[in-house]
Amino acid sequence: MAINGLKSALQQANGKLSSNDITIAVLVAQRDANEARAVNAEALNKPLVDKLARYEGRTWAGKKLRQAGTGLKYVGGVTLAILAIKVAT
Please report which helix (H) or strand (E) contains residue 1, including its range: none
Report the length, in residues, of the chain.
89
pLDDT computed for residue 36 by the predictor: 94
pLDDT for 66-87, tens place per residue?
778 888 888 888 888 888 888 8
Q: Whole-angstrom Cα distance, residue 86 to residue 89?
A: 5
pLDDT in the model for residue 39: 93
**pLDDT over 90 (residue 64):** no
- Residue range 10-32, pLDDT digits in tens: 888 888 888 888 999 999 999 99
Q: Check residue 38 and give its pLDDT.
A: 93
**Nearest-angstrom CA–CA distance, 37 and 48:** 18
**H or E element in which residue 70 lies:** helix 60-88
pLDDT digits (tens, 9 = 90+) for 29-61: 999 999 999 999 999 998 888 887 777 667 777
Q: Where are the beta strands (DSSP E) in the chain?
A: none
